[in-house]
Amino acid sequence: MSGMASDHSNSSQEGYIPHYLQKEDPFASKLSREADIVAGFYLTIIGILSTLGNGYVIFMSSKRKKKLRPAEIMTVNLAVCDLGISVVGKPFSIISFFSHRWMFGWIGCRWYGWAGFFFGCGSLITMTAVSLDRYLKICHLSYGTWLKRHHAFICLAIIWAYATFWATVPFAGVGSYAPEPFGTSCTLDWWLAQASVAGQAFVLSILFFCLLFPTAVIVFSYVKIILKVKSSTKEVAHYDTRIQSSHILEMKLTKVAMLICAGFLIAWIPYAVVSVWSAFGRPDSVPIQFSVVPTLLAKSAAMYNPIIYQVIDCKFACCRSWGLKAKSSSKKSR
């Protein structure tokens, strides 16, 4: 504890002492044992469903890996990020909730915080890249003629480098990872913003580059897509069957991307709001019992995506089979 206190000596330079330095044991659960058990079961179910769902998506994609379109390669990368969160992160928090305290010390706390932020940032930046791809594909048709698979892999390298940079920045001395106020999970040290201007700069940089800017790009892309689709639906109806089929496939991929982004943002925005309030609001003004709910909601984001894939695929398969039946019946009538 003395080592951690020295690491965060700057945190109390203006009289504010963060929650993890106020008590001798920052990793003791501040929730009731019953609440911890409920949270532990909840995360266990989420972790199992997420692991099975994203593992299935990756497995099925690997069987047709040479035929994956660039947008589908991005979707597989999103499944990899979600699987990473489930496999690397959730066991730590599940064990801690059932144990009624964080069991892995400061080293485990930093690792858990890094892994959660790394895969979470990777997921959001992947969705940002997918939204840009959809925007260019739908709104600027010439873009699709030169985009190849190797461009998608270059984009993946940029995404992983971006996530690695921002997740590792706190270890360079400009930020940190710390336990959540309820004690059984860890996250970015949002509370540094209460202590110094440098802490505020760190938190604002994270918020802008890892949340606000990507979210703005996603919203812009899909608003433009919606407007474009409304204006071009009638035009596509006059094209031949091959162009219509290509348009249907592109719209299927766009629907998948839009639903995934919406699910991710719905899951993470409450947590982001609570984090910003913790960073810039009145110190310790967020009730501990309230802070755990957005955290659990954010941890469930990795479970939604495989469900979205399957729902859209089923609808697409039904539409495709219906179209084939319609064609065969028209031939017979002729």
Taking the domains of the chain in order of start, what are their residue ranges?
A: 28-231+241-312
Which CATH architecture is the domain 28-231+241-312 placed in? Up-down Bundle (1.20)
Please state, rounded to an integer, the average pLDDT across all residues of the chain: 80
Tell how many helices (H) and how many strands (E) occur in the chain: 13, 2
Write the pLDDT tens digit of every residue in 257-288: 778 788 888 888 899 888 888 888 876 777 88
More confidently predicted of 77 and 245: 77
Distance between the two ends of the chain, CA-based, in angstroms?
Answer: 83
Whether the per-residue pLDDT at 10 is higher than 60: the answer is no
Closest CA to 18 of 274, 198, 189, 271: 189
pTM for the model stands at: 0.82
More confidently predicted of 25 and 204: 204
Q: How far is CA 97 from the centre of its chain?
A: 22
More confidently predicted of 6 and 191: 191
Segment 142-155 shows an average pLDDT of 78
User: How many Cα atoms are found within 13 Å in the side-chain-facing hemisphere of 83?
Assistant: 16
Write the pLDDT tens digit of every residue in 156-194: 999 999 999 999 999 988 888 999 989 999 999 998 888
Categorize the per-residue pLDDT at 246 as very low, low, confident or very high, splitting at 50, 70 and 90. Answer: low
More confidently predicted of 53 and 147: 53
Whether the per-residue pLDDT at 318 is higher than 50: the answer is no
Write the pLDDT tens digit of every residue in 209-224: 999 999 999 989 888 8
Whether the per-residue pLDDT at 5 is higher than 50: the answer is no
pLDDT at residue 118, rounded to an integer:
96
